[in-house]
Chains A and B, each alone.
Chain A
């Protein structure tokens, strides 16, 4: 309890702590309007302090094609470029700590082992290479632990989350034991190339892959045949499993959209995420499973809440070209994106967040403001300020154009429906429109 005794004159400390409170509502009139004004100020300040760009890691000599997070060290990240070079970065120092010429041609995919001691890369030279995370000792040569020579090009790789098993994709999905040089099993469904494969982090026997015949195919490692597949309108580039909800995954599609599916009900996606104005190339979930980040050919990355159809944030810079790969760090604070123009960029996941240790009062104020913003988020003035983002002209005009196109299509549908027999043109929801079929 704050003492009400008057502070000894001249002592600043005593005066500072002497704050008697009385929470009687009659002493605090205009509660709602004052809170509204505070919320408005908090929203404005949020936009003022929204400076998400932290650093750019340069050193690659070609576009960054793939990245991998270190499962044990927050400060380490791996990246593979289009010239076959793999770099390991220290994020706190923002330096490259190791460079390997891993492949000839592209590094197509890479993944770290769950223990963090080694990592795998696949490349255009039809090889799978297993590398140590630590550099070679003095006098030793930079060499992989194992090299597996395959018959076809591998386009992606992912490691099992608990066991010494990894999966590659290319013409088929192969599942490998780390100790063997031939796959344990190969899974195919139709003849086509498969662009990415991902293990489910919770139900660790499940796999998802995207094929270039517009399919997303799901596999169970314990079976010799695939589980089921869903055919979409256009090709899916990658998918990412939700780390908190075992059934949920999000697919990054060529038709500018992302689709979140529940793997039990593939007929309708749970949510269609639209905002990109070009093909979506990569997607990665935040460790909370509430949001994900997507990288697009339109030179921007966007952050989507899982349950919302539109993005809450868009990041871009003048120099960032087509973004090919993106990762959300395991501490839920940072986002890394690798793009065509050879740079890896480090962003804050929450644009206006203050980094570093917060004082207790600072933290309390932040929480209070957060709650206020949430409380008044639907008020038009506040909504307008919170939603406002500056976009590069290209994206802005493209989005506008697409809006016009969508509007025209909608109008045409409406006119058709008006002039036809009621019920003959059923209304198909946006979610159902893009799914062609589900095959079991």
Chain B
């Protein structure tokens, strides 16, 4: 193996080659003199005492010693050459290239690579620096050897039409915990959680000195559908395990998941062989190129170099509040979407099952902000447990081990699961309002999946653990699609140059680019603003969730503008500044974070309707027109669904307004109306201007429809009218003793807002009638009419009036109402407002 050697940096340049001592074809040993050279140097001579010191230039003679053994192939310099710096010197044919080494030994010739002599310019160990086998870091290869191995691998995979798939363990395909409570539940068939935990697998692990946690039982829950998933994926992928757990742990899990070693074989890499304690890297396994590798992991931040190849899955959180038992080895989780989702979650929220089973999510999503009573309790436990493994950021393994130790011990001692179940039981026995709302969300009448989780018990205890995860089917779909795309591209490239049989690297598409393309289609043309999701002080653009949104092709902005298409609101904090701003802009769909989670999990732009936030009426009044415009724009695909969902949606709104919590509404509303006084003068978009943008044709249609149709259900309409207009009545009463003489700019504006608000429901119907008019759905139309009947009285009239440009009567009325209302409520609102603002403002 030919290798060129440099002269070395330690010589006294400039040097002059004076004589070759070995010639081409001579065998040389390490340390043998190969040539002689001369160099000039200055020397001080003379007697310093007599002041006769002077420097003279002298010539030094030296040998150049051979750094390796072999046969001289060629001298790269000539006698008489003057070298001013290190340069290529001699080519020596070595018997062994030492390109694969094990713990400082060449694996081919068995020589010690750590030997250093005076003649060696560079360490022999530098010839092989890449560790690329799964289970050993001491075995290293040279870049060349790595490339060769990788090309072999790629060729083989292409032949089998496979790709490489790197699979994470914790919270991706399994969830592990060591809380002994699980074992107790498993043995107790009467426990409500028995059904969920009965197929939890266990093993005992003793990896190193651990104190309390030594030899404790690990409880492993496989993600639902895992066995089938791996089975099917193994046809398309060669699979590797890459975990931050210890080797022993990883092997135990592999034994459970893949007892025959058919799926993963011995392709398991754990923390012990990873090389880095904080990050995973595909380069550890595929040092040359990662064109054919896909990763599935629940954390994106541990793959800093390989985001392109990553399919991020929703973390599997079966044992609530336990988290990742190996997370002490990773940087603190900043994946706030997941966290926010669980925070908002009583167990069966859409976040826990981001793939909407339509019936459930429809029922749940709008309610989730309304039922936080139970949800608030879990996060506290979660924090207690999660705070421990998190917060470790320095990569000192020792610290991490201690941390891990502590977290595990804590889990053993404190038994968070038991606590949570007790909490849940307590709530069951004490019938309180929050319980009833919780009841509503946990057991919707028709959700077969959840019924599975319940085991029938006499006194109906709620179960903490639910086995209703659906993520793997999504992942499977993504993987299959990616695989298909990849090989389509590959085939196309091959077909284009069929003469060349050799597989070259240009022929192989980059699966990362394929993934980028597929993901980039998902939220293309969306401009997304987040609120309440990224913690304060974190730049949304570099936050985990922000990066993810951008990788899905959406444009992420800090502030809502007219170009914004979606505002994603944390359901835990539904009324931030941004929400209010966005509510005024017509085209923004205001959705909760579950919509985003669903999009990211399913890789398609999920229909927003079930996720639309219940905007506070106070915020809504200014956005009334907005909703209509927006829904006109809705793409055709989601149209039927939107229609189907809208009646339900509307009935909720109607219900809210007529539910009798009028005073509540007014509290919020006044709060809102007073707030804008400072804002409105600078706000160019007044509600009236929005009227200009409105689709008058639609309204005409609606009016015609309304006039033409018989108002059959008078009583219904009446009651609805009373319900919907309850506030109005109240206002009327107030106006009687109110002072109606004042006319100011503020009140005029407010009046106009009021006007706009009064139209809210009417306008929503306008749009629906327009839509329904097209497909002439009799049932829908009837339903609409009923609702129209309720609001038509004022809605239709208002539209008519404002269309004429006058509407004096109405305006007067509103004026009176408003002034009176303001007067009456002002003082009592003052205090409340303070509180509200504090809690609601960002």
Indicate, yes or no, whether A interacts with B: no
Q: Please report A residues at the B interface, Cβ cutoff 8 Å.
A: none
Q: Please report B residues at the A interface, Cβ cutoff 8 Å.
A: none
